[in-house]
């Protein structure tokens, strides 16, 4: 068959034989647009905002993925379109349980998410798994790893796995993940699991976008709490000692009580909820149902107290403020007049001609003039 012959791409080594793995199969014929003369080329369907909104609302995974791609794009045109779609979908968001999962690399977060995700799908839930990992584009790329580690979950029609958006600042990744979460909710996913590695600042970002924050740890906590910052433990709604299986089970129980001790002395983040430590084996599934019961109990309490709504609203308001601050800061720092004045002020400081307070005042005067101009 003519169509199925292969050709060797230009970049293949010249001595590569027929068996070279990167031979490219000739694809379908290119389709030219009938109204446009000239060489034939592919015609890509242009979707309207309505197409996206309706697609997402019907739970069409392809349209959901496309909408997320727009949200993740840094191109101004896509950005505007993504925001318009998001705005239309906002009334359909919020109907999910949002759980953040953090822990040191190798703690078993992805394995746990796969086990929990499968458990929830079996209960008839629709599960979306997202990742916040601003370092993934430079480091080992946990994206690929997660796709293979969550192999059974990724094949299910009631689960949706979206690796972390590649590249960008934490602020950018943060925005993309929050908005992706909202799109998934609009598409009918009732459980959102957000994985993030428990080093750096991404766990703080995840903490502020979820209802329940779960910290996955390993046995043998010892004194140093395995490099997990104390601050992370303080914001946990539960601690889960993973890999409580085989010879490790006994040790896991000891670790659990060590964490219970630590938690006992911490002031609870959420009123009416005392975080506790649990054990599980993501590998054999023990303790998975129990930890989900804990999440459900938490959600019940929050809803009964009316604090779920208010907490989510506060999270959104904090987020709005944070984005505004970041933008403002960047606009100020990039303003040519401010840059010039900063250089002058630096000179004055170096020669002890201005006090720090006067220098700050001088910069503020320039900033105020610039703000009035804009
Ligand atoms: N014995 C045992 N091994 C486990 C368990 N959970 C995970 N593992 C193993 O621990 C290793 C790391 O698991 P992952 O799920 O990839 O860990 P992670 O926290 O997602 O790691 P990063 O994404 O790299 O931060 C894998 O080899 C898993 O098979 C468990 O419950 N028991
Ligand atoms: Mg992982």
pLDDT tens for 112-157 read 999 999 999 999 999 999 988 766 444 444 444 555 568 889 889 9
Q: Is the CB of 242 under 6 A from ligand 1?
A: yes
Q: Is the CB of 197 under 6 A from ligand 1?
A: yes
On whether the CB atoms of residues 91 and 103 are closer than 8 A, the answer is no
On whether the CB atoms of residues 234 and 269 are closer than 8 A, the answer is yes
Q: How far apart are CA 97 and CA 299, in angstroms?
A: 8
Nearest ligand 1 atom to the CA of 111 is 15
| Ligand 1 centroid distance, CA of 149 (Å) | 9
pLDDT number for residue 132: 82
Q: According to CATH, where is 3.40.50.300 located in the chain?
A: 93-306
CA distances, 185 to each of 58, 65, 190, 211 (Å): 12, 13, 6, 14
Q: Is the CB of 105 under 6 A from ligand 1?
A: yes
The CA-to-CA distance between both ends of the chain, in Å, stands at: 65
Bridge partners for 197 per DSSP? 103
Q: Is the CB of 235 under 6 A from ligand 1?
A: no
Q: Is the CB of 108 under 6 A from ligand 1?
A: yes
In sequence order, the 6+-apart residues with CB closer than 8 A to the CB of 296 are 97
- Quick one: fold of 93-306? Rossmann fold (3.40.50)
On whether the CB atoms of residues 242 and 107 are closer than 8 A, the answer is yes
| Ligand 2 centroid distance, CA of 163 (Å) | 10
Q: How far apart are CA 218 and CA 280, in angstroms?
A: 10
pLDDT number for residue 2: 40
Q: Is the CB of 144 under 6 A from ligand 1?
A: no
Residue from 166, 170, 165, 162 nearest 193 by CA: 162
Q: How far apart are CA 3 and CA 19, in angstroms?
A: 18
pLDDT number for residue 59: 96
Q: How many CB atoms lie within 10 A of CB 340?
A: 11
Q: Is the CB of 279 under 6 A from ligand 1?
A: no
Q: Which residues of the chain have pLDDT under 70?
A: 1-44, 134-149, 166-168, 198-200, 220-229
pLDDT number for residue 312: 94
pLDDT number for residue 204: 83
Q: Is the CB of 245 under 6 A from ligand 1?
A: yes
| Ligand 2 centroid distance, CA of 197 (Å) | 7
pLDDT number for residue 34: 53
DSSP letters for 325-365: HHHHHHHHHT-HHHHHHHHHHHHHHHTT-S-HHHHHHHHHH
For ligand 1, atom 9, name the residue with the nearest CA.
108
Size of the chain, expressed as the number of residues it contains = 374
Q: Which of 102, 103, 105, 108 to mutate to test the pocket of ligand 1 (most atoms within 8 A of CB)?
A: 108
Nearest ligand 1 atom to the CA of 105 is 25
Q: How far apart are CA 87 and CA 21, in angstroms?
A: 46
For ligand 1, atom 17, name the residue with the nearest CA.
108
Q: Is the CB of 107 under 6 A from ligand 1?
A: yes
Ligand lying closest to the C-alpha of residue 217:
1
H/E/C letters for each residue in 150-196? CHHHHCCCCEEEECCCCCCCHHHHHHHHHHHHHHHHHCCCCEEEEEE
**Which H/E stretch holds residue 290?**
helix 288-305
The region, left, alpha or beta by phi > 0 then psi within -120 to 50, assigned to residue 356 is alpha
According to DSSP, the β-strands at 97-103 and 212-217 are parallel
Q: How far apart are CA 238 and CA 236, in angstroms?
A: 5
- Torsion sign, CA atoms 295, 300, 302, 303: positive
For ligand 1, atom 1, name the residue with the nearest CA.
243
pLDDT number for residue 244: 95
In this structure, which residues have their CB less than 5 angstroms from ion ligand 2? 109-110
For ligand 1, atom 8, name the residue with the nearest CA.
108
Nearest ligand 1 atom to the CA of 146 is 23
Nearest ligand 1 atom to the CA of 242 is 31
């Amino acid at each position: 068959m003519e169509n199925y012959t292969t050709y060797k791409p230009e970049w293949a080594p010249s001595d590569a034989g027929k068996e070279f793995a990167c031979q490219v199969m000739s694809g379908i014929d290119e389709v030219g647009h009938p109204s446009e003369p000239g060489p034939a080329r592919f015609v890509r369907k242009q979707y309207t905002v309505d197409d996206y909104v309706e697609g997402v609302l019907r739970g069409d995974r392809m349209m959901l993925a496309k909408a997320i791609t727009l949200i993740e794009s840094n191109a101004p045109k896509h950005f505007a379109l993504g925001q318009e779609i998001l705005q239309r979908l906002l009334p359909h968001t919020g109907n999910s349980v949002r759980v953040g999962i953090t822990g040191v690399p190798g703690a078993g977060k992805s394995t746990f998410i796969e086990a929990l995700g499968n458990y929830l799908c079996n209960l008839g839930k629709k599960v979306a798994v997202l990742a916040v990992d601003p370092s993934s584009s430079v480091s080992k790329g946990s994206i690929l790893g997660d796709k293979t580690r969550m192999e059974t979950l990724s094949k299910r029609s009631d689960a949706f796995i979206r690796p972390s958006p590649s590249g960008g600042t934490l602020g950018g990744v943060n925005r993309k993940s929050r908005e992706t979460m909202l799109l998934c909710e609009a598409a009918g996913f009732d459980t959102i699991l957000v994985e993030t590695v428990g080093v750096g600042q991404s766990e703080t970002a995840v903490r502020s976008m979820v209802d329940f924050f779960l910290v996955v740890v390993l046995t043998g906590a010892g004194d140093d709490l395995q490099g997990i910052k104390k601050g992370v433990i303080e914001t946990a709604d539960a601690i889960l000692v993973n890999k409580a299986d085989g010879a490790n089970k006994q040790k896991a129980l000891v670790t659990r009580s060590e964490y219970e001790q630590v938690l006992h002395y911490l002031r609870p983040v959420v009123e009416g909820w005392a975080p506790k430590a649990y054990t599980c084996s993501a590998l054999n599934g023990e303790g998975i149902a129990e930890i989900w019961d804990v999440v459900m109990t938490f959600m019940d309490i929050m809803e009964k107290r009316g604090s779920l709504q208010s907490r989510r609203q506060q999270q959104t308001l904090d987020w709005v403020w944070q984005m505004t601050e970041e933008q403002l800061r960047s606009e100020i720092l990039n303003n040519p007049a401010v840059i010039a004045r900063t250089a002058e002020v630096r000179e004055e400081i170096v020669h002890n001609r201005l006090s720090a307070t006067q220098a700050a005042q001088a910069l503020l005067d320039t900033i105020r003039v610039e703000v009035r101009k804009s």
